[in-house]
Amino acid sequence: MTGAVPDPLPGWLTAARRITVLTGAGVSTDSGIPDFRGPRGVWTRDPEAEKLSTLRYYVADPGVRRRAWQERRRHPAWTAAPNTAHAALVDLERQGRLRALLTQNIDGLHQAAGSSPELVLELHGTVHEVACLSCGVRTPMRATLDRVDAGEDDPACRDCGGILKSATISFGQALDADVLDAAARAAADCDLLLAVGTSLTVHPAAGLVEVAAANGARVVVVNAEPTPYDGLADLVVREPIATALPRLVGRVA
Ligand code: NAD
């Protein structure tokens, strides 16, 4: 079924007790953080910006790194507040129905809303930390942004001189194996997989939907645009996330 949130909700949805949620950039657009591929997305408006998230360009080109640091200084995550979609997922946890919250987002807004850090798996890392590409040391983002503010346009690692980058997963960079393993277990071990605000085009994250379905879970997709996994879903909701999600998870059988 595709369209609005059904009223009444299907019984299998209100009866689900081990829900694994997979979120993407669309969950945070109402918090003022643009997605990448939506109609007003960062890459839709400026295809060159994709280079900033691609490891080989970042490593090879100091100009790309300088631009990336300026973008990080201005990143909307520093001032963004969680919205009703983040709050609905906190509510789902309080109901005792949240198995895990797998997020492709790097903005930290699920934790800021009150989701338990031990239930949140950040598949693509976090923008709140910096990692050295040579020695791996991690430091708070703020400390490096202070160096950028003070005039260092491409700050190097203070321990080893290596290239610094936000602790996010760029294209060409492997996901943390432990995080991915835990996410795959949570996808395999749920009775409902809820994919929200993601174009489901980035792998391996998108493949978690298939893992859940193959293990017998129901699948709900909440996204304004079609995704490659809509055909696998028991329910596809096209309504805005901020109004759809509270209605989808707010009722328990
Ligand atoms: P995406 O940009 O590929 O897809 C987002 C989807 O959300 C789009 O299909 C769009 O139509 C939909 N959407 C946006 N706002 C919506 C709304 N209010 N209601 C309904 N649907 C809405 O995002 P993705 O699948 O998460 O993949 C992009 C990658 O970009 C991820 O790896 C993520 O790490 C990164 N990213 C993160 C943030 C963030 O942390 N907030 C922001 C931009 C990109």
User: 106 CB less than 6 Å from ligand 1?
Assistant: yes
Q: Do both 183 and 69 map to the same domain?
A: no
Catalytic residue among 86, 124, 128, 203: 124
Q: Do both 69 and 189 map to the same domain?
A: no
- Mutate which of 36, 175, 220 for ligand 1? The one with the most ligand atoms within 8 Å of its CB, which is 36
Distance CA 54, CA 43 (A): 13
Mean pLDDT across the stretch 179-187?
98
Q: Are strands 125-132 and 164-168 parallel, antiparallel or unpaired?
A: antiparallel
pLDDT at 45: 79
Range of the domain at 193: 1-33+82-124+174-253
- CATH assignment at residue 224: 3.40.50.1220
User: 226 CB less than 6 Å from ligand 1?
Assistant: no
Residue 150 lies in a domain: yes
pLDDT at 124: 97
Residue 202 lies in a domain: yes
Q: Looking at ligand 1, which atom is closest to the CA of residue 43?
A: 2
Query: Which residues fall within 8 angstroms of residue 101, CB to CB, at 6 or more apart?
Result: 20, 21, 23, 89, 93, 110, 115, 119, 120, 121
Is pLDDT of 166 > 90? Answer: yes
Q: What is the mean pLDDT of the chain?
A: 96
pLDDT in tens, 15-29: 999 999 999 999 999
Residue 125 amino acid letter = G
Is pLDDT of 1 > 90? Answer: no
Residue 57 amino acid letter = Y
pLDDT at 168: 97
Whole-number Å distance, alpha carbon 203 to ligand 1 midpoint, is: 14
Q: Do both 96 and 161 map to the same domain?
A: no
pLDDT in tens, 105-116: 999 999 999 999
